[in-house]
Amino acid sequence: MTDNRKIDPTTGTETTGHSWDGIEELNTPLPRWWLWTFYATVVWGVIYTILYPAWPMVSGATTGLLGYSTRGEVAAEIARVELSNADLTESLVTVDLGVLAENEPLHRFAVQAGRSVFAAHCSQCHGAGAGGVKASGYPNLLDDDWLWGGTMQEIAHTVRHGIRNEEDPEARFSQMPPFDWMEPEELDATVHYVRSLSDLPHDAAAAGQGAALYVDNCSSCHGSEGLGDREIGAPNLADAIWLRGDSYADILAQLKAPRMGVMPPWQARLGEAEVRAVSAYVHGLGGGEAAVGEAAATSAD
Ligand code: HEC
Ligand code: HEC
């Protein structure tokens, strides 16, 4: 075949010597630029495998002269984020909660961190969406009706020490006494009076009799108009939001055998940064109140 090579007269290019039915193939050389690019990629490939991890070995791969690894890069990235978070966490622990909301980046950091704290530690009682569980007396944290207080400081206090638990001496505490000593008519009258406070259907005559019983037995905690008392976590009885239900049977049950909510303290379990973060999160759910004046600020801890 080599014998058949010749110069094609039309193009001046050598042929390969192949000939099919008189049709011959030109041996056109590869373009220069293409060849050089090809050689460059080969050289690049060799250099790359020397500098970077490349050749698979029995255990692992060659590490390359630069010592680069994607794993190392991730570790460095995590360290960087943690370092910047360390600053934020530090600031969160020391900031005055009354003005946290004004510090936009710190507040955002707190709320985001608080969201995962809530999902991990609070949602089993208060519900994933913080809507509460009425049947168990776990309050809704989305509304602006607060048993113990809705400023960020008050919420943090509740979270830190908990409610009616035996572990923390500073836990919020109060107790509604049972009224099982009342005569059935007295209980009936009191329930009707309580329902009249929030305009629920009631027997007006019975409610009239219940008014005096209420003043004697209930107003010291729930207030003369039923507005409640946050000092002792006594619910507002004159609004549409109920911790334990607004039906006749619910209220009667609460009078005969008061159920008391218990919440564990979180200070030791979470630490101050997470307590503050989750408080900022709860505060931001919709019902958070602004700290007003000295009173709110001093009741912080
Ligand atoms: C074991 C169940 C339980 C867990 C877990 C729990 N709570 Fe509570 N929480 C309660 C109960 C019960 C009450 C209502 C107590 C009462 O009746 O006064 C309450 C009340 C509150 C209140 C007061 C609401 C108000 O109206 O003043 C806040 C705020 C609160 N919880 C936040 C949290 C946060 C934040 C977490 C997670 C760190 C958490 N809770 C975990 C049971 C729980
Ligand atoms: C010593 C204070 C105290 C007294 C007195 C008291 N309560 Fe209460 N009451 C409370 C507290 C605290 C709660 C909240 C219980 C809880 O958080 O689980 C409560 C809860 C209730 C509830 C449930 C409210 C809801 O939102 O579901 C009703 C109803 C109620 N009380 C009615 C009465 C009536 C009627 C009387 C008088 C006959 C009375 N209470 C006397 C402290 C008191």
- What are 161-184's pLDDT values in tens digits? 999 999 999 999 999 999 999 999
Residue closest to 262 by CA, chosen among 134, 140, 145, 125: 125
Binding site: what residues are annotated?
Answer: 122, 125-126, 176, 218, 221-222, 263
Q: Which ligand is nearest to the CA of 222?
A: 2
**At the fourth CATH level, which superfamily is domain 75-172+262-298?**
Cytochrome c-like domain (1.10.760.10)
Contact 93, 108 (CB under 8 A): no
Model confidence over 135-148: pLDDT tens digits? 899 999 999 999 99
For ligand 2, whether the C-beta of 141 sits within 6 Å is: no
Lowest mean pLDDT, pick from 60-69, 124-133, 141-150: 60-69
Residue limits of CATH 1.10.760.10 in the chain: 75-172+262-298, 184-256
Q: What is the pTM of this model?
A: 0.77
For ligand 2, whether the C-beta of 228 sits within 6 Å is: no
What fold, for 184-256?
A: Cytochrome Bc1 Complex; Chain D, domain 2 (1.10.760)
Lowest mean pLDDT, pick from 41-55, 68-82, 193-207, 234-248: 68-82
Residue closest to 279 by CA, chosen among 260, 266, 293, 292: 266
Q: Which residues contact 70 (CB under 8 A, 6 or more apart)?
A: none
Q: What is the pLDDT of residue 3?
A: 67
pLDDT band at 298 (very low <50, low <70, confident <90, very high): very low
- Whether the per-residue pLDDT at 296 is higher than 70: the answer is no
Residue closest to 233 by CA, chosen among 127, 134, 145, 136: 145
Q: What is the pLDDT of residue 195?
A: 97
pLDDT band at 295 (very low <50, low <70, confident <90, very high): very low
Half-sphere CA count of 149, side-chain side, radius 13 A? 24
Model confidence over 81-105: pLDDT tens digits? 777 788 899 999 999 999 999 999 9
Residues 40, 37: Cα–Cα separation, whole Å: 5
- Whether the per-residue pLDDT at 123 is higher than 90: the answer is yes
The mean per-residue pLDDT over the stretch 271-295 comes to: 86
Closest ligand 1 atom, CA of 124?
Answer: 5
- Whether the per-residue pLDDT at 54 is higher than 90: the answer is no
**Higher local confidence (pLDDT), 264 or 2:** 264
Residue 122 C-alpha to ligand 1 middle, in angstroms? 8
Closest ligand 2 atom, CA of 193?
Answer: 35
- Percent of the chain exceeding pLDDT 70 equals 96
Model confidence over 247-279: pLDDT tens digits? 999 999 999 999 999 999 999 999 999 999 999
Task: Find tokens 């809507």 and name the residue.
Answer: 131
- Whether the per-residue pLDDT at 300 is higher than 60: the answer is no
- Whether the per-residue pLDDT at 64 is higher than 90: the answer is no
